[in-house]
Structure 1
């Protein structure tokens, strides 16, 4: 990587910038100004989520930048209580409205299970994924992805979905390397 504009090529031939700006906790304080400063500093890839409550602020910052939507790479995530077929479709529409755009570059399932004791998580993930596949066909999502999914969660999607996830967004740092999940993702593209 030589600049923040360098990209990785995903399995669907989309290019994702190597460096992005995460908006988690950016809702604290002067959020629109923080996001406008990030845009002025050159960031074009922004990660948000309905749970973060930053989509409105990010949408406003993008509008006020006067840059075209196509200059940005926007990723958002549905929260645990937004999973399910119709809930996913409704959640995406709300995110698009808050962001002020008609499509997302990538939309993620934020967590594979709404709770640790959820017994029907496999069916729920597949209902959610089916809705996302339809939304992609409608042009509202360019790439479908996962977040915080472990190998057995990903396997359920790979074996039963028709569209392969382009990413699995994971928390990684020296104290939490998630080697099994990283290796599984590498092996399955």
Structure 2
């Protein structure tokens, strides 16, 4: 995958990944990011909040070429990187936007909003649910404490009618622990 090569060559230099991460880019970052894809629609509008190095946003754009993917990232050096990757990989289905998710409330809404390693679900839901259109889903990669995060975010989730929040285990590779994905539908 060309994205792997770009991250491997430039990720540490640009401060996107730590030096110890280059040897485990596939299993820890790329495969982990790809685990969210089965929970997403095959087409439509998607937003990745806090895109950073492009995980999972760039991976989603590659694996869902019929989708329009907006990458929202507040840091200029990261949006510069994301623009570089989009150009290098000729991803015509990606739009990079510099800013915080809250700055885009009311500007657009999507069928699915994703995120990876940005914030606890209680905060993340406040920032991201206004970007999810009614009937759309928040689909975020989470760790072992996913159920606890859902409980802590219950009030915010209810505000958007997301009473169906659940944790799904997303298998990755045979020797790896499944990735945990939180899925919640916006009903109002």
Q: TM-score range by the shorter chain?
A: 0.3 to 0.5
TM-score (norm: length of structure 2): 0.37
RCO comparison, higher one (Cα < 8 Å, 6+):
2
TM-score (norm: length of structure 1): 0.37
